[in-house]
Amino acid sequence: MKKFKILKPGSNPEVSKATDIQVGVPLPLGTCVRGAGVNFAFFSQHASRVQLELFGRPEDFNPSRVIDLDPDCNRTNDVWHVWVKGIRPGQLYAYRVQGPYEPKAGHRFNFNKLLLDPYATAITRLPVWDFDPALGYNPSVPDGDSVPSTVNDAGTMPKCVITQDSFDWQQDVLPRHPWSKTIIYETHVRGATIHPSSGVKNPGTYRGLIEKIPYFKELGVTAVELMPIQEFNESQVTSILGKSLRNYWGYDPVVFFAPKASYSSLGGLGQQKQEFREMVRAFHKAGIEVILDVVFNHTAETDLFGATLSFRGIDNSIFYILEDNKSIYKNYTGTGNTINANHPVVQDHILTALRYWTQEMHVDGFRFDLASVLARDTNGNLLHNAPVLDRIAKDLILKDMKIIAEPWDAAGAYQVGSFSDRRWAEWNDRYRDDVRRFWRGDDWSLGSFASRICGSEDIFAKSGKGPQNSINFITCHDGFTLNDLVSYRYKHNELNRQNNNDGANENISENYGIEGMTADLSIEFVRKCQIKNFLLTLLVSRGVPMLLGGDEFRRTQAGNNNAYCQDNETSWYDWNCLKQHKEIFNFTRGIIAFRLAHPILSKEQFYTQAEIQWFALQGQAPNWSNPKEKQFACLIRENDKHAILLMFNASTEAVDFILPAVALGTCWYLAVDTSREAPQDLFTAGNELFLGNPRSYRLNPRSSVILLASK
């Protein structure tokens, strides 16, 4: 490891005493262009000294200028501040902070560590950013009695970038789709276009995603939910798993305000902010919303042996929840540390970040990773009305934003159906599991499946929420893809180099004859039918459907259900699959169009008895308590002249459904039959197949059918 000189307090002869420096102001925190210069404002309650360093290039070890902030002049209570003349966007900077190094008291100040501004709106790129624990604390010393590192890491740390605030939004208008018309497509900025088959000019970037907008429009989705784009270190897992593996998902934020530099085709000196805005503007012109998957529950600094990057060196005892022995971090996230989200300073930091992404970057909403963590107090107890969650729900700036919770955490909190305020939508994993069980043919699955397609009233009504609060999904980034759900009975995570011990063991999946890919046409037929069954179920269910990117053309991860470290062809979208599985794409596009053409399916209320009626095979009411029952139908009345009949058969036998009585003069039309080969599997609106007045309809094994009754 390269050794650098030690910086001792008061020993740097380059500290500036120039007259182009003024006291500055304490707010807003971060950097702000004021007049002919820039104001720097930096929170640290327990610091005794703060030093601002300016750099000329990202790789520089030595700063071009060092400014020591006088605690008597450049400090207002807990905020350190200074105004520097002549500073403009593009300037690189970072901080050093001196204070007590007392781990058992929660303090881990280290003046040798270069620190990122937690309010930085961009940080520079590094070809390889090594999170070597030796740059932080000595892991050979137990229980936090370690000594601070004496290594100055300025040459191996990225620098903060002052970014340009002005941008031509070209009269950008946010689409503001109501929940009832929202169809979410979860995707990864890099993974969606980095594969050579993507056909874009700027693969793996924000601009690459812009090039795919016509595709999203054709598919019919109304929102893209982007996996984390808050700056993270893709090299973070390399030292653990080996150089061929990287932090692909990005659920390890370094700075909450900064868009990922490596996703920019323009460069990493502030251009990432411009390119991200270009992407949002382009999506809005196409009528598509942009939702960010945000991580405010932990940071990349991990546990006591992790790297010191920002919060830990600024005021560790404020920003993190600590054990009674404050050298140890409480870990409700499974990643080593937990943000102290309900401390007033940290609350403000999170709210400011959300407002920034809303006002300055024009995003339309947020999905909060492990959101239950944000409901914990300083002792780790779950709060009934967590202040930060309440503030997010009621904030004036965030009023019209879509806010979605992943309503659980890694320490046992599970709040599906009752997460915080009624404004919060929630990922509904019970929808995922119950729909999977039904289509796998599990016993006792009929009643739960029926509840899920009706909006999960049994889950959400008790807290005053409606079906619009349920984000319905069959698959997401975490787990099998839809293709793998019907192709693998077991996970296959060997490439993750953890002896296949990572990832969920139970996936409620089935392979239908053989594990993985096969040329057996009979197995492929069943798999294709099941994929269509899942897609149909998702798009006819009340609630908000979320589709995992690539499921519409059978993207596979070869059975890997935890591909967080697979920045390679395991995770990348192979667009050749779109040509190979065009039938599935067309079906997905068609069933999305069907949902939008029949708004009764997506109303933001639960079904009334007048709207829906249930049937078993012979026209009688279903026996919900029969564990072996695998079929049912429901008639949804749109109005006096039109009705929708949904029929489901999860058994391995064909069955005949007696069609329910409808108004005199009504005829039946076939809209969808998942057991049919394309193009007879789905008919577009107005082109449904006329059936006349049959007494019954045969459902093939493992199939679903939609009939329309119309006068």
> Checking phi first, is residue 138 left (phi over 0); if not, alpha (psi -120 to 50) or beta?
beta
As given in the structure block, the two tokens for residue 505 are: 């063991």
What pLDDT is stored for residue 138 in this prediction?
A: 47
pLDDT tens profile 414-460: 999 999 999 999 999 999 999 999 999 999 999 999 999 999 999 99
For residue 665, the SS3 value is: coil
Architecture of domain 1-163+307-340: Sandwich (2.60)
Q: Was domain 608-710 assigned CATH 2.60.40.1180?
A: yes
pLDDT tens profile 237-264: 865 666 679 999 999 999 999 999 999 9
422 vs 90: CA distance, rounded Å: 42
As given in the structure block, the two tokens for residue 449 are: 């499946």
* 1-163+307-340 and 179-306+342-601 share one fold: no
What pLDDT is stored for residue 132 in this prediction?
A: 56
As given in the structure block, the two tokens for residue 369 are: 């990773």
Catalytic (active-site) positions: 369, 406
Q: How confident is the model at residue 14 (pLDDT cuts 50, 70, 90)?
A: very low
As given in the structure block, the two tokens for residue 595 are: 């949902």
What is the percent of the chain with per-residue pLDDT over 90, rounded to a whole number? 89
pLDDT tens profile 471-525: 999 999 999 999 999 999 999 999 999 999 999 999 999 999 999 999 999 999 9
Which residues on neighbouring strands pair with residue 673, listed in sequence order? 705
Spell 217-251 as b/e; 16+ CB within 10 A means b. eebbbbbbbbbbbbbbbbbbbbeeeeeebbbbbbb
Q: For the chain, which residues make up each domain, given as ranges? A: 1-163+307-340, 179-306+342-601, 608-710
What's the whole-model pTM score? 0.95
Q: Answer with the residue of higher pLDDT: 664 or 49.
A: 49
- The CATH fold of domain 179-306+342-601: TIM Barrel (3.20.20)
Mean pLDDT of 360-372: 98
